[in-house]
Amino acid sequence: MHIRWTLVPALLIAAALAAPALAQQPETPESATPEAPPPKKPPKPKSAPTPKPAAAAAPAAADGAKPTLLGQYGDWGAYTASPGGKKVCFAIAKPSSSETTPPNRPRNPSFMFITSRPADKVSDEVSVAVGYPFKPNSEATAEVGATSFALSTQQDGAWLKNGTENAHMVEAMRGGQSAIVKGMSVKGTRSTDTFSLRGLAQALDRSDQECK
């Protein structure tokens, strides 16, 4: 089945960015070790759980998947990596603000990724890792300006429910000020993450140039 292994390089960057913050936080009741963003196809049977990023990232790094920074543009970084010999390019950002209801519920850091993988003929695919397990079978939303996009969720990851909307969302983000992601955790905590779009267009231009 198609596992979203292509985000492993992004998760390596996320882990590096998250490490200082996690070191200062108490153990997060909303989540255990965060899991990789989910596949678009149905999940594996319960007898074969999806590996956690720590397990998935180690072999990827050994296989030459260590990400290379192409440039930092405002709040977005552009990176490339080659897990399994297949080139991947992506832009990544942390939220400029995060809120939960009830307030101040601790969780792992969240990140938004926009990924291209030429070998699979995929360009500018939007996904989010929110730092806690979503409520099973729940949907999340991403709002850019006045437009709302439905997100499918699994474990701690989310992606556009309608994959054909990726281009529309990225176009809106290029001309927007912020993207707001809302969801609900398995424990019923509602989260709102606001991602600044400052520098996104430049980061995408750079990553797209690398993965033409």
Q: Please give the Cα distance from 133 to 91 (Å, whole number).
A: 23
99 falls within a domain: yes
Domain count, the chain: 1
> What CATH code is carried by the domain that includes residue 177?
2.60.40.1880
43 falls within a domain: no
138 falls within a domain: yes
CB–CB of 49/144 below 8 Å?
no
3-state SS track over 87-137: CEEEEEECCCEEEEECCCCCCCCCEEEEEEEHHHCEEEEEEEECCCCECCC
Q: pLDDT digit string (tens) for 99-143?
A: 999 998 888 989 999 999 999 899 999 999 999 999 998 889 999
Q: What is the pLDDT of residue 30?
A: 52
Provide the β-strand partners of residue 181: 142, 193
87 falls within a domain: yes
Classify burial at 202, counting beta carbons within 10 Å of its beta carbon; exposed 0-12, middle 13-18, buried 19 or more. Answer: middle
Q: Please give the Cα distance from 188 to 171 (Å, whole number).
A: 32
Q: In the 8-state DSSP scheme, what is residue 167? A: H
21 falls within a domain: yes
Residue 129's domain spans which residues? 5-38+48-210
Residue by residue, pLDDT tens for the chain (212 residues) are: 233 433 444 455 554 444 333 333 333 445 433 333 444 444 444 433 333 332 233 233 334 468 899 999 999 999 999 888 889 999 999 999 999 999 988 889 899 999 999 998 999 999 999 999 999 988 899 999 999 999 999 999 999 999 999 999 999 999 999 999 999 999 999 999 999 999 999 999 999 999 98
157 falls within a domain: yes
10 falls within a domain: yes
